[in-house]
Structures are given as structure tokens and as C-alpha cells.
């Protein structure tokens, strides 16, 4: 395994991070225990969860993923071996069953305290804001549009002070963002500098062969502000395994179970995926391995968040850390990208 450090901390994490959002829906508690056992044995010490999980979100299952992790940590006595990341849910109809008070002081404290109970721990290593409170173009919306009904008021300072208190109190070790845009990151950075607050560590955004939007301006911000990318959906909900194109997806595959998730299913996304699939065949490796290795090698990526519903998938995902893509293959990847750029933003 390759290890990196969460920026602006001394927290050592594996370059592969274990994603968990299927646990409690597509995966049982027994499945989750087997995945955590296997991942830890392979050197994966970084697990990412959220109070929202599992996905799709529902009142009945909310928090189940983190409870599974907490039970595993308690049973295996492995808290000191694992770096835990979690997130407070952003506002919206999707999360009304959790709370409707956004990132208020009360909300942040409530979210952290409840998550600590679920995880059966007294600290969370990395705590993230799952998506912005303000209305902006996230989750597959390509362009920003001015939205007159947005009632959001700038509260970056208030949020940061509350997160800093949680660090000082020992409940979290560091903090980061998720699904954030350039303007949001720089507003946080501005408040941090102005008030001498603890620096942001990470941003968790989608990044894959068919979604390289991060490279547009966020990559430079990541480099200059020292904020590492935690790349999620590196296989684009399994699309970049090639199984949907080749007709090999089981009836329990994510997009067969939840067809409303269309972010990675556009005509252009499928066209790009076919091109990447042909390239992977030409070089004699699976598309899964090539897609993950591509993400693993990006200089701005601190950790690559993989997700699997079976141990065989998990093995292949972790094995990708052993592949280094050549300059020639990277050039061919960039050529496909230039022809079909970011079909799944």
C-alpha cells in the first residue's frame, strides 16, 4: 500500500480509502465486516462514511453505515488502526428526515455528537461538510445559474469557528469540504487567513476518467492552498468497470437497482466509456484497474475512495494501487478526454 498525509496534519492515510455508502442497503452488516477486515489486512487504514449513509437516503436506514463501522471497531478493537472520515449532511429535500437547520452551530454539534455515538468512538479524524448550503451547481449540474430564491446567507466564519472549537475539544482532528466549488473553497480560505484559524485539509469531490472537472480550477486551488482531493466515484457508479456496456451487470448492480442515478449514464458518457474500454483492452488490463490507477496517480489526489459490493470487486479495486500507467497510455487517455471532455460533471 502507498500512504499519504492529510494536508496540514500529521495524519497518515492509505492512498486507497474504503468507501462505505452501500452498507445497510446493498450490503449487509456481515458484508461490511468482511470488507473492513479485508481492507485493513491489505493496508487500507482510511474509511469514509457520513451521517446520511447508506445511499439512497431514507429515514429508516439513516446512520446504519456508521453504526456498522462502530460495531466493527468495537468488536475488533481497531480504533487506533483506522483513520475515520465522516460528514454532516447538507440541506435539502433529500435530508429533511435528518434536520432542516443546515450548518448552524447547533446542527454541527448535534451531527458530530450523534456520529460519535454511532461510531462508538470519542473522536473523528476528518469531519467534512457533505455539500454546500447555498444553491449552486453540484451533483452533475454542469453550469451555475443565478437563483433568486436562494435564501442562504454567508456563514463561512460561523461554521469555521464551530469546527475549530470541535478540534480544540478533541472531537475532531481536522476538517474538510465535499462537493464544493472554487468560490466556496476560497471563501473558507479567506476567513481562515483573516482569523488565523486552522487550515482546511481536504475536499471530497467526484473525479474519474469521465469527470475531470476538478482539473479546471480546483486543481490549482488544491495545489496552492494545500487542500488534498479525496476522489469519490472513481468508477462512476460502476460505469467505468465496463459491465453495463458489455451487458455483464447483475440485477443488483447500482444503476439497475437505482436507475434514477443518471449522472454517469448520458450518451456522451457511454461513448467515452467505450473508448476507454477499448484502450484498456489494447493494453491488456481491465477498465476498472485502468480507471482507478489513473486516479491514484494524479498529483492532487490525497486518497482515492473506492466502493465495492463484493470482496472480489474490493480486491480488484485495491490491487489497482500496484499499477503505474505509462506516459504513452496517459497520453492516449488525454486524447480521449480532449475528444469527449467531462461527459459526467
Active-site annotation, residues: 53
Cβ neighbour number for residue 140 with a 10 Å cutoff? 14
C-alpha distance from residue 3 to each of 200, 211, 219, 244, 252 (Å) = 20, 24, 20, 32, 33
3-state secondary structure of 318: helix
Alpha carbon 33 to chain centroid distance? 20
CA nearest 56: which of 290, 258, 239?
258
Alpha carbon 29 to chain centroid distance? 21
| Gap between the Cα atoms of 1 and 91, Å rounded | 36
| Pairing between β-strand 228-232 and β-strand 301-306 as defined by DSSP bridges | parallel
| Gap between the Cα atoms of 280 and 285, Å rounded | 5
Alpha carbon 334 to chain centroid distance? 23
Q: Return phi, psi of residue 148, to 5°.
A: -70, -25
| Gap between the Cα atoms of 328 and 333, Å rounded | 9
Amino acid at each position: 500500500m502507498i500512504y499519504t498525509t492529510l494536508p496540514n496534519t500529521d495524519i497518515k492515510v492509505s492512498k486507497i480509502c474504503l468507501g462505505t455508502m452501500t452498507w445497510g442497503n446493498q450490503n449487509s452488516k456481515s458484508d461490511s465486516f468482511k470488507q473492513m477486515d479485508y481492507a485493513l489486512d491489505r493496508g487500507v487504514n482510511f474509511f469514509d462514511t457520513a451521517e446520511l449513509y447508506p445511499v439512497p437516503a431514507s429515514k429508516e436506514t439513516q446512520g446504519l453505515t456508521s453504526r456498522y463501522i462502530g460495531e466493527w471497531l468495537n468488536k475488533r478493537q481497531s480504533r487506533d488502526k483506522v483513520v475515520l472520515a465522516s460528514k454532516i449532511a447538507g440541506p435539502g429535500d433529500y435530508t429533511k428526515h435528518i434536520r432542516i437547520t443546515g450548518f448552524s452551530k447547533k446542527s454541527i454539534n448535534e451531527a458530530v455528537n450523534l456520529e460519535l455515538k454511532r461510531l462508538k468512538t470519542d473522536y473523528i479524524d476528518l469531519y467534512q461538510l457533505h455539500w454546500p448550503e447555498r444553491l449552486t451547481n453540484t451533483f452533475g449540474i454542469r453550469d451555475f445559474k443565478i437563483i433568486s430564491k436562494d435564501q442562504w446567507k454567508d456563514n463561512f466564519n460561523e461554521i469555521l469557528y464551530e469546527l475549530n472549537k470541535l478540534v480544540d475539544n478533541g472531537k475532531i482532528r481536522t476538517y474538510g469540504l465535499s462537493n464544493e466549488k472554487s468560490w466556496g473553497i476560497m471563501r473558507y480560505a479567506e476567513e481562515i487567513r483573516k482569523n488565523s484559524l486552522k487550515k482546511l485539509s481536504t475536499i471530497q469531490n467526484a473525479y474519474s476518467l469521465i469527470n475531470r472537472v476538478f482539473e479546471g480550477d480546483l486543481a490549482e486551488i488544491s495545489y496552492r492552498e494545500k487542500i488534498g482531493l479525496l476522489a469519490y466515484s472513481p468508477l462512476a457508479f460502476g460505469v467505468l468497470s465496463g459491465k453495463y456496456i458489455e451487458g455483464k451487470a447483475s440485477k443488483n448492480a447500482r444503476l439497475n437497482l437505482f436507475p434514477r442515478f443518471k449522472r454517469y449514464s448520458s450518451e456522451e458518457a457511454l461513448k467515452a466509456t467505450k473508448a476507454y474500454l477499448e484502450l484498456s483492452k489494447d493494453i491488456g488490463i481491465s477498465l476498472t484497474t485502468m480507471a482507478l490507477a489513473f486516479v491514484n496517480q494524479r498529483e492532487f489526489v490525497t486518497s482515492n475512495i473506492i466502493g465495492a459490493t463484493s470482496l472480489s470487486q474490493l480486491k480488484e479495486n485495491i490491487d489497482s494501487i500496484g499499477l503505474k500507467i505509462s506516459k504513452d497510455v496517459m497520453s492516449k487517455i488525454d486524447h480521449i478526454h480532449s475528444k469527449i471532455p467531462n461527459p459526467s460533471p
